[in-house]
Chains A and B, each alone.
Chain A
């Protein structure tokens, strides 16, 4: 479905991506993991054509999007939904208007049909009571759920998630993770999730890829990752915050 071939990107002297190769299978949840600041978000923004690469290809159903004009990219992007790290809700619009936004832009639905759909989408993420609120009135978790409703408004085939669970309390993290899993199953979506949350990745991912120093160093189903011999992957997945805390507490 999505194939990334030898992707390079530098910002000034800093080489962020140094030849990323990755296949993202259709109708599955793929996690791209790695430390903060390793270029996971940069990679994600390449997939949807927000950043042009220095070198390499991104093939979506065989079409190379790196060679496309902005106009052609617009057409491709209609197949995508994206959940930004902080939600990126339009703060001049209410939650309902945010979700209605892509429908108003890209469909010929009547106002009545649009609002019916907005209500369905907000109900899916459990946020129907916030329909008339402004984004500034929402908590972090509510913002992410509202943004998810907006990302799903046009029933996209591919949804990109930029750190969907970062900065939320554990219960909210779990509920967002379940939401991703449920929507994926229900609509057969292709999901690409950027995260450094190991337990959540093991719980819902079909495939996990590790980005380290600009390349993918390990990829495969969660079982393969758990058994990985790669020293960085081992240290990353065993550095479980819960484990550390328990030990520390015992010492005290």
Chain B
């Protein structure tokens, strides 16, 4: 018999359980961060994986976002002769919003999914049990390096996306649409403040933390062979992406 009230209750409980589990994993990760041994090699390896190897994706995302922003902006500004504001608009949209969000989403797709898949495979092939049997805390070994790599690299990648995006906007605005280069740059300098950039980076920190915790949590709790790992990976990407967008709204309303 299908009981809608029971189904809703079960669904709510499972969501709360997941959120609680993720919060616990986050706290455990923070707690274990300063506990030796410090796994510098794993940390560097993860920074390479999350950071260096995401460079191309992030550059392409930033570049085309900046270019399309300039194109769309120009279309709107031309209607009331506000083309001079194009540089500032592109830069503000990027540093405050699109840079961190798109970087967060792209790194989720690339690295968050890989975290879930890798840790999930380790779970279903008993490698996580093997770590525990060898008296190694799996959170310390697997989650701590991934978490800090994401928290550090997502802001750095955001800076890169911002820069490349602004360059793309400059290319479209100044080279293709013939806006005066001096106006483009001076308005940008005038209207973009340091606080805009810094608040964008705060967001990036939080997005990095979200994608790492969700990816690791989903992988860590994967069950049931290859199918379970696939499910965990999909869920990690969906939950991280939605959480990033929700967190983005909350942070924007708090920070700006």
A84 contact from B126, B135, B137, Cβ within 8 A: B126
B130 CB to nearest chain A CB (Å) = 4
Are A90 and B130 touching (Cβ within 8 A)? Answer: yes
Q: Does B252 contact A (CB under 8 A)?
A: no
A78–B127 Cα distance when bound, in Å, is 17
Are A105 and B133 touching (Cβ within 8 A)? Answer: no
Residue of B nearest to A153 (CB): B134
Residue of A nearest to B126 (CB): A88
Are B129 and A84 touching (Cβ within 8 A)? Answer: yes
Q: Does A109 contact B (CB under 8 A)?
A: no
| Chain B residues whose CB sits within 8 angstroms of the CB of A88 once the complex forms | 125-127, 129-130
A246–B127 Cα distance when bound, in Å, is 40
A58–B14 Cα distance when bound, in Å, is 32
| Chain B residues whose CB sits within 8 angstroms of the CB of A48 once the complex forms | 133
Q: Mark out the residues of chain A between 48 and 102 whose CB falls within 8 Å of any chain B CB in the assembled complex.
A: 48, 50, 70, 74-75, 77-78, 80-82, 84-86, 88-91, 101-102
Q: Mark out the residues of chain B between 127 and 144 whose CB falls within 8 Å of any chain A CB in the assembled complex.
A: 127, 129-130, 132-137
Q: Does A245 contact B (CB under 8 A)?
A: no
User: With A86-B125, A90-B127 given, is the CB distance from A101 to B134 under 8 Å?
Assistant: yes
| Chain A residues whose CB sits within 8 angstroms of the CB of B132 once the complex forms | 50, 77
A81–B126 Cα distance when bound, in Å, is 14
Q: How big is the A interface, by class?
A: 20 to 34
A106–B136 Cα distance when bound, in Å, is 9
Q: Mark out the residues of chain B between 102 and 136 whose CB falls within 8 Å of any chain A CB in the assembled complex.
A: 121-122, 125-127, 129-130, 132-136
Residue of A nearest to B133 (CB): A82
Q: Does A26 contact B (CB under 8 A)?
A: no
Are B129 and A50 touching (Cβ within 8 A)? Answer: yes
Q: Mark out the residues of chain A between 97 and 118 whose CB falls within 8 Å of any chain B CB in the assembled complex.
A: 101-102, 105-106
Residue of A nearest to B141 (CB): A105
Are A74 and B135 touching (Cβ within 8 A)? Answer: yes
A75–B137 Cα distance when bound, in Å, is 12
A-contact bits for B218-255, CB 8 A (1 contact / 0 none): 00000000000000000000000000000000000000
Residue of A nearest to B129 (CB): A50
A85–B127 Cα distance when bound, in Å, is 11
B92 CB to nearest chain A CB (Å) = 42
Are B134 and A105 touching (Cβ within 8 A)? Answer: yes
| Chain B residues whose CB sits within 8 angstroms of the CB of A45 once the complex forms | 129
Residue of B nearest to A49 (CB): B132
| Chain B residues whose CB sits within 8 angstroms of the CB of A102 once the complex forms | 134
Q: Which 7 A-B pairs have the closest CB atoms?
A: A88-B130, A88-B126, A74-B135, A77-B135, A82-B133, A84-B126, A102-B134
Other CB < 8 Å A-B pairs besides A82-B133, A90-B122, A102-B134, 10 of them?
A45-B129, A48-B133, A77-B132, A84-B129, A88-B127, A90-B130, A91-B125, A91-B127, A101-B134, A105-B37
